[in-house]
């Protein structure tokens, strides 16, 4: 395990970089391309990739799987998380939206105690309070047109629903394979997002279309790199590497969008990261 850890760490860092690039792509095209179309291309690309080897399994899964409702609920929650997260990325600096996404771990702590009845010690509750205070610091700075408050609210909603999806994933993964979870997730997402993408259709430019297709392929590579990393290294050891997303997002935000977070943003982001790290350490 220890001998394979360096390659696992590299793969996890690659995953963090890929998702930071995806966030930059979303932000760059969101002004011209409807969010539902961006989401559809991302999910549909993953579905096509997954269904290539398991297409025949999809009809019986959807029609007669004993936990069909639970899988559909999980997929619906993740669609909400994706929509609110993409919207937050489009209106907030990349470093800020990425930092807020880390609060998912805090929501998992809360929901683990409330839903799964897990034992949550005093230190983890303290970590939750610290992390959420960082979110309050970010939202308190506001903006003239209200976009900062809206973006923070959407980012928190995305993190909370992603945590609920993680709780349901934890439950279902004890009973079904990872392939089953992903097939339900991508099939449902493609089915739900297709009419929404059509209803809000706006012809993308050739450059935007290329960016969307590239983002879809990156999402596949990102998932594969994360799976490969978790096969080679321990999840608890690799989890902190995900925080390099904040570094990559900040760098891309500065280079591509000339974003420089305010002092209050730096403080809020640091508090969120500290609270999340404290929770993960515990």
- Count of CA atoms in the C-beta half-sphere (13 A) of 278: 20
State the Cα–Cα distance between residues 199 and 178, nearest whole angstrom: 32
Examine the pLDDT at 2 and tell me if it is beyond 60: no
- Residue range 44-78, pLDDT digits in tens: 888 888 777 666 777 776 666 778 788 889 889 99
**Residue 240 contacts residue 277 (beta carbons within 8 Å):** yes
Q: Higher pLDDT residue, 55 or 5?
A: 55
Cα 137 to the center of its chain, rounded Å: 22
Q: Residue 275: pLDDT above 90? A: no
Bigger pLDDT: 263 vs 36 = 36
Q: Give the model's pLDDT for residue 88.
A: 93
What is the pLDDT at residue 4? 55
For residue 145, what pLDDT band results from cuts at 50, 70 and 90?
Answer: low
pLDDT above 90 coverage of the chain, percent: 22
Decide if pLDDT at 187 tops 50.
Answer: yes
Over residues 192-218, the pLDDT tens digits come to 999 999 999 888 888 998 898 888 888
Per the prediction, the chain carries an average pLDDT of 83
pLDDT 10s digits, 35-48 = 999 999 888 888 88
The rounded distance, in Å, linking the Cα atoms of 3 and 218 is 28
Find the Cα–Cα–Cα–Cα dihedral 83, 245, 260, 217, rounded to 10°. Answer: -60
Residue range 88-117, pLDDT digits in tens: 999 888 988 988 888 888 888 888 777 767
Per-residue burial over 48-65, b if 16 or more Cβ lie within 10 Å, else e, is ebbbeeeeeebeebbeeb
Residue 1, pLDDT score: 45
């Amino acid at each position: 395990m220890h001998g394979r850890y360096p390659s696992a760490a590299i793969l996890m860092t690659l995953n963090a970089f890929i998702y930071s690039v995806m966030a930059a792509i979303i932000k760059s095209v969101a002004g011209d391309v409807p969010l539902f179309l961006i989401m559809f291309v991302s999910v549909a690309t993953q579905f096509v990739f997954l269904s290539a080897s398991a297409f025949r399994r999809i009809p019986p899964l959807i029609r007669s799987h004993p936990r069909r409702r639970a899988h559909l609920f999980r997929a619906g929650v993740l669609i909400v998380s994706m929509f609110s997260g993409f919207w937050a990325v489009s209106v907030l600096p990349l470093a800020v939206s990425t930092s807020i996404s880390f609060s998912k771990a805090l929501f998992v702590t809360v929901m683990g105690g409330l839903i799964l009845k897990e034992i949550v010690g005093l230190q983890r509750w303290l970590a939750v309070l610290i992390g959420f205070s960082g979110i309050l610091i970010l939202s308190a700075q506001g903006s003239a047109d209200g976009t900062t408050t809206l973006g923070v609210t959407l980012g928190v909603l995305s993190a909370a629903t992603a945590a609920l999806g993680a709780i349901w994933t934890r439950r279902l993964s004890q009973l079904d394979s990872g392939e089953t979870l992903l097939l339900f997730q991508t099939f449902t997402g493609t089915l739900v997002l297709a009419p929404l993408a059509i209803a809000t259709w706006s012809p993308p430019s050739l450059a935007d279309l290329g960016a969307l297709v590239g983002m879809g392929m990156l999402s596949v590579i990102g998932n594969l790199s994360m799976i490969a990393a978790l096969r080679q290294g321990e999840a608890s050891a690799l989890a902190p590497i995900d925080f390099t997303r904040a570094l990559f997002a900040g760098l891309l935000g500065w280079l591509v969008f000339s974003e420089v977070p305010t002092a209050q943003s730096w403080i809020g982001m640091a508090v969120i990261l500290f609270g999340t790290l404290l929770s993960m350490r515990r």
